[in-house]
Amino acid sequence: MNQYKQQFFIPEGIYLLNHSVGCLPQKTASQKEHFFELWKSQGSEAWEEWLSLIDGFCQSLSTLLNGYPDEFCPQSNVSSAVCKILHSLPPQKNRFKLLLSEMDFPSIGFAFSLMQRLGYQIEFLPANNGIFSLETWKQYLTKDTQLAFITHAVYGNSFLNPVTEIIQYAQEQGIITVVDIAQSAGVVPINLRAWNADFVVGSSIKWLCGGPGAGFLWANSETALNFAPIDVGWFSHENPFEFDIYNFRYTNNARRFWGGTPSILPFVCAQLSMDLINSIGVDKIRFHNQRLTEVLIQESQAKKLNIITPLEPWQRGGTVVINFNNNQKVYERFQQEKISIDVRPGFGLRFSPHIYNDEEEIEKVIALMQPGD
Ligand SMILES: Cc1ncc(COP(=O)(O)O)c(C=O)c1O
């Protein structure tokens, strides 16, 4: 039996929806009580320790992603972090283009489209079957571009963009870079120092098993002070306890992107889960995931199914996506057998094994797929 199964609450059946919501670790469920204990016993006096719990969340992110704690700012989700970044851009006369891709998560497109109100032009990298070479990126990273949004692992097909190379080229052109790691954090090793982007945004709900509400924004300490968010509050202030309504001064790190009174509990849960993920090790999770996804891919190929995830292991995140002739019919077959997966229009069925899944489960999944499906 897979030793990690006992460390998580896993819904009945076979759970392969880790690209959507990672399972709750037992430790997270039992230890989150600390938050309530502080509230119970200290009331308003709990703030000091509650805020130190946020520092703990940022510390765990630093361990996970190789950053520094004060480069992280808690956010409720990726969409809100992206909106804050877009509205913090320094005015640049000859750079009116914002670049993203048709394969980014739709939220990102929504946030970008509203920037047209401010005179920006939005440009999408065409979907191109969800595969983007560095050469394609280079064609679009033109001198009139102010910012490029790069999704690390694409939600629809799990393609891994060549982030390091894109950032390097973008920087040579003077373009600001934002990387979305919502779909890769926890299953693909990430080294923020090596990337050296301007911003990285993500959330804890998927492979990090940290639940909803614990998003984050990482801002490069070399460039963070060039950005002036408009969505602010007293926790974005250099000294939140100054209480001078006429004198707002941004704090001098990523936390200028914070806002008003922050939520705490989601970050407590996320940190407990992230510490478990860190103790298991993302390298190990990646290795295990690739072993299972490789079996799934090879057996699906043998059945002549239409796999839309890149076949090269280094080019894919944690998910295998298969586009069946009748996705809904196959989806219902899996539902009946209590195999949890989902279907994304235009892409197909998504299968995402985590550290607590095993080969036996993958064999059951494969047995349900029929040649010609
Ligand atoms: C790559 C990617 N980015 C962003 C999101 C959504 O982010 P949020 O709901 O935190 O705004 C998702 C959700 O599935 C995603 O897959």
Tokens of 151: 């999704």
- Asked if 184 and 317 touch (Cβ cutoff 8 Å), the reply is yes
Amino acid at 137: W
Assess contact for 167 and 190: CB atoms under 8 A: no
Atom of ligand 1 nearest to the CA of 152: 1
Nearest CA to ligand 1 atom 6: 78
Cα-to-centroid distance, 240 and ligand 1 (Å): 30
Distance CA 100, CA 361 (A): 37
| CB of residue 157 inside a 6 A radius of ligand 1 | no
Ligand 1 pocket test: pick from 20, 110, 155, 158 the residue with the most ligand atoms within 8 Å of its Cβ: 155
Q: Which residues have C-beta within 8 Å of that of residue 4, sequence separation ≥ 6? A: 280, 355, 356
* pLDDT < 50 positions in the chain: none
CA distance linking residue 140 with residue 148, whole number of Å: 9
Closest ligand 1 atom to residue 206 Cα is 14
Question: Quick check: do 5-24+281-367 and 32-278 share a fold?
Answer: no
Question: Is pTM, for the whole model, over 0.95?
Answer: yes
Pocket flag, ligand 1, residue 198 (CB < 6 Å): no
291 vs 283: CA distance, rounded Å = 12
Under a CB-based contact definition with an 8 Å cutoff, are residues 283 and 101 in contact? no
What is 32-278's CATH number? 3.40.640.10
- Would the CB of 158 count as within 6 Å of ligand 1? no
Cβ-proximal residues to 142 (8 Å cutoff; 6+ apart), any chain: 97, 173
How far is 335 from 340, CA to CA, in rounded Å? 7
- Gap between the Cα atoms of 176 and 36, Å rounded: 41
Residue 23: CB within 6 Å of ligand 1?
A: no
Is 101:286 a contact under the CB 8 Å cutoff? no
> What CATH superfamily is the domain 5-24+281-367?
Aspartate Aminotransferase, domain 1 (3.90.1150.10)
Q: Is 78 in the pocket of ligand 1 (CB under 6 A)?
A: yes
What's residue 248's pLDDT?
97
Ligand 1 within 6 A of 18 CB?
Answer: no
| DSSP three-state, residue 320 | strand
306, 323 contact by CB (below 8 A): yes
Q: How many residues does the chain have?
A: 373
- The domain limits of the chain are 5-24+281-367, 32-278
Nearest to 350 by CA among 284, 312, 296: 296
d(C-alpha 289, C-alpha 357), whole Å: 9
In ligand 1, which atom is closest to the CA atom of 82? 11
Q: Where on the phi/psi map is residue 211: left (φ > 0), alpha (ψ -120 to 50), or beta?
A: left
Give dist(CA 200, CA 151) in Å, integer.
Answer: 10
**Spatial distance between the Cα atoms of 30 and 132, rounded to a whole number of angstroms:** 43
- Coil, helix or strand at residue 6: helix
> Quick check: CB of 184 below 6 Å from ligand 1?
no
User: What tokens were used for 177?
Assistant: 């870079």
Measured CA distances, 361 to 16, 107, 209, 278, 292 (Å):
10, 33, 20, 25, 9
Best probe residue, ligand 1, of 85, 150, 183 (max atoms within 8 Å of C-beta): 183
Given the CA of residue 154, which atom of ligand 1 is nearest to it?
1
Question: Which residue blocks in the chain are alpha helix, DSSP H?
Answer: 26-31, 33-42, 47-65, 78-86, 106-113, 134-140, 163-172, 192-195, 265-280, 282-302, 327-336, 359-367
DSSP 230: S
Q: How far is the CA of 243 from the centre of ligand 1 (A)?
A: 35
pLDDT at 277: 98
According to DSSP, the residues that pair with 215 across neighbouring strands are 75
